C-alpha cells in the first residue's frame, strides 16, 4: 500500500482567518501592536528632541504604519497560501 498523507480533511487552518469575527480581532490586534511600535520608536529615536510631539507624530503616522503592516501580513498570507496550494497540486 502506498504511503498516503491526509492534510486537514475538513479545511486548512488558515481558512479560519477569513471568518468575520476573526478579521475584526486581527484588525484591532494589529492596530494595538502597531500603536505600541510607533510609541516605542518615538521614544527610542528620541524624536521629542527633534521637535516632534508624541500626539501629532502618532496621529500623522499610525494609519500609514497600520495599513502597511496589514498589507505585509496579507502578502505573507498570500505567499503561504500559494505554497500550500502548490504543495497540494504537486504531491
12/10 Cα distance (integer angstroms)? 7
CA atoms within 13 A on the CB side of 50: 9
| Predicted pLDDT at 6 | 56
pTM flag (> 0.75): no
With 0-12 / 13-18 / 19 or more C-beta atoms within 10 angstroms meaning exposed / middle / buried, residue 34 is buried
Residues 32-91: tens digit of each pLDDT: 999 999 999 999 999 989 999 999 999 999 999 999 988 888 899 899 989 999 988 887
3-class SS at 17? helix
Segment 12-30 mean pLDDT: 75
Q: Which residue has the cell 502597531?
A: 34
Structural contact between residues 39 and 54, judged by C-beta atoms closer than 8 angstroms: yes
Amino acid at each position: 500500500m502506498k504511503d498516503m498523507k491526509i492534510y486537514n480533511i475538513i479545511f486548512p487552518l488558515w481558512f479560519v482567518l477569513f471568518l468575520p469575527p476573526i478579521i475584526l480581532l486581527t484588525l484591532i490586534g494589529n492596530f494595538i501592536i502597531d500603536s505600541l511600535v510607533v510609541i516605542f520608536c518615538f521614544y527610542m529615536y528620541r524624536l521629542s528632541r527633534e521637535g516632534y510631539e508624541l500626539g501629532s507624530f502618532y496621529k500623522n503616522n499610525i494609519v500609514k504604519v497600520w495599513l502597511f503592516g496589514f498589507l505585509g501580513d496579507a502578502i505573507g498570507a498570500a505567499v503561504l497560501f500559494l505554497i500550500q496550494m502548490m504543495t497540494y497540486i504537486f504531491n
